[in-house]
Structure 1
């Protein structure tokens, strides 16, 4: 009806204009002819006036028609200009839709108040698999995307809340089923749309396919769990620290507890204690040199040192790490292991290499090395040095009569007694069988002789255990040599002391014999 009414309006206006024109023409012709005939009775004059009157009518009507046409053309031009601008705006809107909505990499769809799809962009097609012509003007797509009725009901309820302007959705994630049957996770932002009159005309939803993001997050969390499990099961402490004077820890693994006794957060950022404070015995300078050298050569560093645990215990650690550049500047990454058991084993092996397995005293090789060191020191500082060569008297008789186990018991007990009876600076060793050597730094001939006599009496007056509750008396023979009177090297001193000991044996045993001073001249 409105359309028909719009069509009749121009016709009525045209008929009205024509009617006005005919009426004006009729009045002009009728009254003008009457007036002219009254004013100009002469036929010739009347004919000319009639001619001029006709010309005037034509001119007047032409002017009116000209003005009317000018007005209409002006209005038409305005309408054409408006139409042109409207067409440009429509074209720009179409370009906006093409460039922004259609080319957007996010799903954009618009629903009318009934929940039917009125806009479905290209990204929505690509993510869902459903084309625009399949979904426009319909609400069936939601049954396809959400086959589960309960889930679909919940989503539709949220959509209805938005259409009622009862809120908006931000970051609401749903799992859709695509046309190909794949599951995709979509994060939605949605709100209602209002028209120019303020009434709700529908809703717009923008969805982002976050399937790959969520899968990546799951993978990252899985890797983080694996890394955390690996870190928790490392035999030591993994770390990441600043290259500063405090070795400020940025990260430490849970192995920190077993290694240092501190909780990880107590070391991180020096919250309670810095790692530098745990390093013992002035080893920090050595660590700094090792790290600086490794950084300069662009290589990893390895170093062993001791740290002091929270409970005060000292332990040996081995650190392996390297320097890397990151946002914090130059940082160190590596691992620190407790090697106390290994160090103890090394010490034990070292002692096995230098100690007599039965008595625990130094063996012949170590005693020779220590004697060479003491001779060099005595020469450098011009100090005295003495050597005692000890042999047990009739020791074979103890082995034959009581057995080798009893002999071993006597050797161990006598060794301990001798070791406990000399100074802390003195060194005692077993060089084989029942022969022992005592090294007496900074002790001259007279003092060495007195020490030898004291040890002789001690052994003679102390019965030695056989290991079964019984004891046996024992005596020793001792030879004494002195540096430099009896020699200036280890071989000469040992030979002089050994000869003096055999003189004590030949002289009846249980006595001390000092190597003669003439030995010095002989060795020279």
Structure 2
């Protein structure tokens, strides 16, 4: 059996901090947090309330999670972010956002007359960064830095669910570079890659922040435009089309244009591929009609 002194020493040696928090949000005790890479001494918090330490919205969130853990009586796990903007007092708190996993368990006894929990906070910022980078790599086209086919389909599926539920419209533009094979044949694949990179940059600079831009394959690009009907999307597409020749002329000293097709969701659509198919039909109609144009379908 351990003595009380030994048990206290063991708890104090925990690498992650364990907070004893009452239902009202008071810091009753803190154990552990010895991993100096991730944590500072939190002993100054003892006796304070989370409402003394954190901004109102964040403090209310913590209070609600404490309440959930007390009401459910089983282990309650949450992930949350903390940054300097969440902490009261200038210059206090982390300068960059830090992510934590909180493991919250109701205690079987009262603390200072209140129900209480033990809240173990584990810094998971590094793990989240690795996961985010892996996710970005799985969703990103290596050449252009745009989203890839996988992310595009995921986005279209999501927007189709919104359309079915709320009738909130989404338009899609499909376009490619006219005579792209000739550019590769005349200048080499390096020049072709440079053209695709320049078009990707042009899209980022000229499209809305909410638009999802993807390289679908080869020289074909797809742009998902939430909350836009196809006629409004056509205006945006035409402005983009008009800028492409000048960009390619300046960057590659090469004369070329783009052709495209625009469509929007319609009631008979069952799959996200339906809207892509119509936009693709618009693209090929533009090709047959002389190129350097965008057609609506």
Report the TM range for the smaller structure's normalisation.
0.7 to 0.9
Native 8 Å contact 2:66 2:117 kept in 1: no
Partner of 1:504: 286
Partner of 1:477: 259
Native 8 Å contact 1:359 1:412 kept in 2: yes
Is 1:287 the counterpart of 2:70? The answer is no
Q: 1:430 Cα shift?
A: 1.7
C-alpha distance in structure 2 between counterparts of 1:283 and 1:289, whole Å: 10
Partner of 1:302: 77
Partner of 1:139: none
Q: Which is richer in helix?
A: 1
Q: How many residues are aligned here?
A: 287
* TM-score where L is the length of structure 1: 0.47
- Written as runs of structure 1 = structure 2, the 5 A alignment for 1:2-13 is none
Q: Report which structure shows greater RCO (CA 8 Å, sep ≥6).
A: 2
- What is the SS of the residue equivalent to 2:291? coil
**Do the aligned partners of residues 283 and 220 (structure 1) sit closer, same or farther apart at CA in structure 2, a change above 3 Å counting?**
closer
Give the ranges of 4+ consecutive aligned residues of structure 1 lying more than 6 Å apart after TM superposition. none
Native 8 Å contact 1:363 1:430 kept in 2: yes
Is 1:268 the counterpart of 2:46? The answer is yes
Q: 1:244 aligns with which of 23, 38, 44?
A: 23
Partner of 1:177: none
C-alpha distance in structure 2 between counterparts of 1:281 and 1:390, whole Å: 49
Query: Which consecutive residues of structure 2, in runs of 5 or more, have no partner in the other structure?
Result: 85-92
Deviates more, 1:347-356 or 1:266-275: 266-275
C-alpha distance in structure 2 between counterparts of 1:380 and 1:499, whole Å: 27
- Written as runs of structure 1 = structure 2, the 5 A alignment for 1:361-440 is 361-382=146-167, 384-440=169-225
Is 1:333 the counterpart of 2:108? The answer is no
C-alpha distance in structure 1 between counterparts of 2:237 and 2:20, whole Å: 59
- What is the SS of the residue equivalent to 1:242? strand
C-alpha distance in structure 1 between counterparts of 2:37 and 2:26, whole Å: 19
Which entry has the higher C-alpha Rg, 1 or 2? 1
C-alpha distance in structure 2 between counterparts of 1:321 and 1:391, whole Å: 53
- Residues 86-137 of structure 1 show CA distances to partners (whole Å, capped at 9, x for unaligned) of xxxxxxxxxxxxxxxxxxxxxxxxxxxxxxxxxxxxxxxxxxxxxxxxxxxx
- What is the SS of the residue equivalent to 2:134? helix
What RMSD in Å do the two structures reach over aligned CA positions?
Answer: 3.8
